[in-house]
Structure 1
Amino acid sequence: MKTILVIVLIFIGGIQSFGQGIEFFKGDYNAALEKAKQEGKMLFVDFYADWCGPCKRLAKDVFTLEAVGNYFNEKFVSIQIDAENPANRQVVKQNKVRSYPTLAFFDADGKLRSRLEGALDGAALIKSAKVVTGEEMSFEEIYTKFKSSKNDLVLMQQLLLGAPAYVSTLENMEQAKWIARIEKFFKDYIDLKMGPELINVDDYRIINTFHHTDKPGDKLMEFMNKNMEAYLKLGEGPAYFVMEYNNKIMENMARAGKEEYKKYLERIDGDMKLTYSVVPQKTMSARQRFTYLYDAEYLLFYKKDGEGYVTSMDAYFKELGEDARAVDYGMAAQQVYTATGGKVPESVILKTKEWTVKALQYTDISLMDKINFLAMLGDTNKVLKEYDEAKKCYNQAFMESMQMEQEMTKAMIQMRIKQKLAALDLIK
């Protein structure tokens, strides 16, 4: 599910700081590093990209905080670097920036001290900075202390919270070694702490980072579901996390033809009712919604019954009414190709075309979804031997891709569209 991570902040002309927050240096990386050396400070770098929504929130809601500004302006020279500006290519490559935002701390000699990937709140950002300045224990110091007290839950929690930032600074075998070690820390930590004390913001962050499973009967996921009333006090995130787990189990079983998926549907208005209460239920219940979806996947992936799938999904869309979104129609069409490669009766192909056209009529559709749906509509027209229409769709997808600012992703998408056009020309 994961492509390049998106975590950035922008305004016209680039990211700006305002209010009482961080005062960002105006200049390039080398000039900022020289200034840090002259002032006896360390260097803080925010690597961003102009298209990254989470970075916008970071710039607007975190960098502008007075407490953040006070600490960073005293301890660091700070600079924001557009990671996709060709002028910054060398420093981006040198520091292996692969996701946005990447927040990096350097000493005055340019040595990387810490790197964080993703947005943080103000308190977490200051805490990370204090580790770099030595005001709080570093990951290595915590680990040294932990080795003489291996069942200390406080130290284990600190290690797990700091692990992603620490591991991101390592390479190759050293990184692989630490990943394996941290996976064991996590398992031991959960086994030792399983109970009411596990229900807090920091431990949920740890669980969300390290625990991903679709195996039925997972002890931790069942614990979270059983204690969902307490978890919901932390926000809706834990409910969606547990819901994704149950949904994945149903998807796997339905696609494999195991009718046991229906037992997990029953849980939606049974022991998982509170977990699924966060799902919007204006036109139908959560149980009805997911029954439609997984019954349809059972028909399509296991029974290879494209017409039955269409009937089920049409009923689903009728129930959804005005609550149906572009992604609902687009995903319904895409599933047909995922499951069958388009080898279904023409009536089913025509229905996928209808759904894709509907998806493209929404005005709030994201650029990436629009490109994907246009390419998919081109594929559908190609299967229907409507070659001129297919070419129009591919060309429109290519034109839409010109708006993308992430150069690597844009290049990959455009190459794929060109391949589709070339294959179409061979047929024509």
Structure 2
Amino acid sequence: MHYIKRLLLTGLFSSLFVMAGAQQINWVSIENAPQNSGKLFLVDFYTNWCGYCKKMDRETFTNPTVVKIINKYYVPVKFNAEGNTTFVWHGVKYTPTPTPPGSRPSVHMFTKSVLGQKIGFPSFGFFNSDQTLMTIVQGYQNADEFAVMLWYFASGDNKRYAFDHYRSIFDKDIRPAMNRALNME
């Protein structure tokens, strides 16, 4: 009897572990992002001190719909906006911004290049499959709103609709097709 209980508990915890693993985004570092995947790129610009970045990690990036859209249609890149990596993106070499000793880390050159004068965190760069920037979204995004944005680009609907109109028709006209595509019905 004791053996059966242990076996059942092991099976239960194993299945919970597998289910939890299915709820994770397969983030990559920018220097390891595949260049020719055919997928869109989502770059999450974060900092270690950003509270809303951490909130998105806990709440938005664990949402099953958000996870499915990102893993299926995007190369998801986590990028420390104050980090010290050197890499090539879209044929351009980016290096860290020099930081004087004892100072807070400077914003990375890639962050400055993408965000321009509007540096704030969290920020998200949506890039097409050839790494050309389509748009930037800044600030905390709840899971429902972020899923709409993700699907807007993943489905190609950004070529047919202005985003405000898209958002207004999403629940009635778009969400059912998205759910079918993601096997979420």
The answer, yes or no, to whether TM exceeds 0.5 is: yes
CA distance in 2, matches of 1:156, 1:80: 27
* 1:111 lines up with 2:132 in the alignment: yes
Equivalent residues in 2 for 1:214-233 (5 A)? none
- The 1-side partners of 2:151 and 2:139 are apart by 18
TM-score, with length taken from structure 1: 0.27
Answer whether contact 2:69 2:151 (CA < 8 A) is retained. no
Displacement of 1:129 after TM fit? 1.4
The one-letter code matched in structure 2 to 1:84 is E
Give the corresponding residue for 2:144. Answer: 123
Q: Secondary structure at the match of 1:100?
A: coil
Q: Which runs of 5+ in 1 are unaligned?
A: 1-16, 144-153, 159-428
Structure 1 residues 192-233: Cα deviation after superposition (integer angstroms, max 9, x where no partner): xxxxxxxxxxxxxxxxxxxxxxxxxxxxxxxxxxxxxxxxxx
Instruction: Give matches, 1:350-365, under 5 Å.
Output: none
1:55 aligns with 2:56: no
1:22 aligns with 2:19: no
Contact 1:19-1:64 within 8 A present in 2 as well: no
2:115 alignment partner in structure 1? 96
SS at match of 1:95: helix
Matched residue, 2:32 = 31
Asked if 1:141 is matched to 2:161, the reply is yes
Identity %: 22
Superposed, 1:242-321 pairs within 5 Å as none
SS at match of 2:162: helix
Indicate the structure whose relative CO is greater, using CA pairs within 8 Å and at least 6 residues apart: 2
Rounded Cα–Cα distance in structure 1 between residues aligned with 2:21 and 2:64: 10
Partners of 1:81 and 1:123 in 2: CA distance: 23
Matches within 5 A, 1:271-420: none
Larger radius of gyration, structure 1 or 2?
Answer: 1
Compare the two structures and name the one with the higher strand fraction. Answer: 2
- Following superposition, the deviation at residue 134 of structure 1 comes to 3.6
The two structures have a TM-score, normalised by structure 2, of 0.59
* Cα distance change on mapping 1:127 and 1:90 into 2, 3 Å: same
**Contact 1:114 1:132 (8 Å CA) reproduced:** no
For 1:84 and 1:92, locate their aligned partners in 2 and report how far apart those are by CA, in whole Å: 8
Structure 2: distance between partners of 1:74 and 1:156: 21
**Aligned mate of 1:82, from 77, 80, 88:** 80
**Aligned residues between the structures:** 126
Change (3 A) 1:93 1:18: farther
Q: Which amino acid aligns with 2:148?
A: K
Q: Structure 2: which 5+ residue stretches go unaligned?
A: 1-19, 86-95, 97-107, 169-185
Q: Deviations over 1:355-389 (max 9, x none)?
A: xxxxxxxxxxxxxxxxxxxxxxxxxxxxxxxxxxx
Q: Could you say if the C-alpha distance between residues 137 and 50 of structure 1 is closer, same or farther in structure 2, counting changes exceeding 3 Å?
A: same
